Chains A and B, each alone.
Chain A
Amino acid sequence: MRQPALPRTPSTRLRPRRVLRQRLAFLFLWMAAAAAVSALIAVVAFVGVRAVRVLNIDLLLTSPAGGLSGEGGISTTIVTTLYLVALTTGLATPLGVGAAIYLTEYAGQADGRRKPALLLLSVARFGVETLAGVPSIVFGLFGYALFVSALHFGFSLLSASLAGACLILPVIIRATEEALRAVPQAYREGSLALGATQWQTVSGVVLPSALPGIVTSVILSIGRVVGETAVFYVTLGGSSDLPRSLLSPGRTLALHLYSLAMDTRAFDKAMGTGAVLVLIIILLNAAISLLSRHMLRIRG
């Protein structure tokens, strides 16, 4: 190459075909990004514009009039969604975080002599990795056959939250493990060297530094539960009344949207429900990014 021209200063001496190819390729990249952004704008704007007509405080505060009319608001579905989020995360978080702590801090730190712990670790890793790739409808299938049908919990909050907890358990275990592993080994060694017990080390040193990561994983799973339809479609029943007990059926926001879109012609109401859903997701995303910023600040 005679002319060591820097590529950043497009020179006429560069071979035009190379320049042309780059132009074309970059054009494609710009278009790809534009397509992604316009897909977002299309979905959000479309839902938003049609939602504006129905989106008001009444929609949020009145209950749906009944399964098929499409009349009424979405109040009961918001409450049911909250119930379900509380129940699923309430069930799965302690279990998942506890399991992850054991796997990383106890089994993971165990030496070669403790075979059972290592076996547990590898079985758990395999199971969690595999389940993380399983489609949600399989959890629905499982939940329906076991909780709804075999255990006679019926279509109910209980069945749905148990199935939902199974869905997010691998998510929480995986994310918590990652957060724990990111804590420098020196922290643990320092604490143990000062004479702290293993649990004192875990609770006093490891958990505080891993907490933002753990909370992020919980928020992620909340988002998963809020947006999930398939699992709850086959376990929650779909009644639009407010659940009165654990054994009552119910309908989440996402299920309500599905039912409005499929069974009624109240597309505007469906868009309104969709807008509320998207808003919740935006808020959860914001919470996560706030947390991760916080995390970065702590780590310096």
Chain B
Amino acid sequence: MRRVSVILLLAVVLIAGCARATPTPLAREQATAASPVTEPEPNPSPTAEPALAGRITVAGSTTVQPLAEKLATAFRAANPNVEIVIQGGGSSVGVKSAAQGIVDIGATSREVKDSERTEFPDLVVHRIAVDGVAIVVHPDVPVDSITTEQVRAVFAGDIASWKELGGPDRPITVVAREEGSGTRDFFQEHFMKDRDILARAILQPSNGALRTAVSTTPNAIGFLSFGYLDDSVKALAVDGIQPTEANVYGGTYTAWRYLNMLTRGEPAGLARAWLEFILSDAGQQIVTAQGYLAVKR
């Protein structure tokens, strides 16, 4: 009897010991150069305090995610006692989790829908950046330009071969985002209008996953946020206009939307400070550096 309790006790102590002991070396590494993490008091008091401390959580659009991460890093550099946790999920996750208080701030790459406004009336929208949507293909596709009508025909399944777009006679593989995606909603509204994206399209749950799928699937086509463009995929000119920042600013490339941060009610405390930082010059410089466009005010 003694033996068992001793063994069980030992096991419990071991487990507890592991849990307590392991994080130390890593936690030290984690705490960036700055002061030893004085555990922030878990009182998110609504009044803004002079020394910012505490935690905000952000979830939603994977288009906003990499930008939000950079913005958080910069904000944290100035306020070392602040923790900002950023998660993806998609724009609809952003709306829902902000509205239900699962997170402090929800991120979307589309406007809040009317249905969502009626369901969650206290959502407040903060526009933080402008982002274009590019039509991307696998780098080996020898096509450089496409028209809006062709985009619609390809994604609706009317055009099935690259031959009809001036390429070789190879079947087109359409890659799209899943339904909760703000980028998909925007694409649907801007390019597809009343046509549906063909059912057989490969669906990916994030911008990153879509980029991976297009860059590894020959003859693939998809749509991607400007912030994700890199050399692994080729962005097509739409109606002869290259998808660049200059062309969005110039008003010729029309496939762009606002990126938003949502709060439940007017933001207070840390959330407000961070949103103010994002809209400051320093914040907007980060926005442009990441391949997105600053908000015109």
Binds A, one of B2-10, B167-175, B239-247, B281-289: B2-10
Binds B, one of A76-84, A123-131, A272-280, A287-295: A76-84
CA distance A75 to B73 in the complex (A): 19
Tell me how far the C-beta of B224 lies from the nearest C-beta in chain A, rounded to whole angstroms.
13
Q: Which residues of A contact B209 (CB under 8 A)?
A: 262-263
Tell me how far the C-beta of A190 lies from the nearest C-beta in chain B, rounded to whole angstroms.
15
Q: Which residues of A contact B86 (CB under 8 A)?
A: 67, 239
A264 at the interface (CB under 8 A from B): yes
CA distance A7 to B74 in the complex (A): 78
Given A75-B26, A154-B103, residue A204 in contact with residue B1 (CB < 8 A): yes
A143 at the interface (CB under 8 A from B): no
Q: Mark A87-111 against chain B: 1 for CB-CB distance below 8 A, else 0.
A: 1011000000000000000000000
Residue of B7, B18, B26, B206 touching A263 (CB-CB under 8 A): B206
B219 at the interface (CB under 8 A from A): no
Q: Mark A131-154 against chain B: 1 for CB-CB distance below 8 A, else 0.
A: 000000000000000001100101
B interface residues, tally (CB under 8 Å): 45
Q: Which residues of A contact B37 (CB under 8 A)?
A: 244
A interface residues, tally (CB under 8 Å): 41
Q: Mark A59-79 against chain B: 1 for CB-CB distance below 8 A, else 0.
A: 001110011110000011001
CA distance A47 to B206 in the complex (A): 24
Q: Is the CB of B3 within 8 A of A208?
A: yes
Given A67-B86, A249-B57, A265-B232, residue A86 in contact with residue B26 (CB < 8 A): no
Q: Is the CB of A242 within 8 A of B87?
A: no
Which of chain B's residues 15-71 have a Cβ closer than 8 Å to chain A?
15-16, 18-19, 22-23, 26-27, 29-30, 37, 39, 42, 55, 57, 59, 62, 65-66, 69
Interface set of B (CB-CB < 8 Å, partner A):
1, 3-5, 7, 15-16, 18-19, 22-23, 26-27, 29-30, 37, 39, 42, 55, 57, 59, 62, 65-66, 69, 73, 83, 85-88, 100-103, 204-209, 211-212, 215, 232
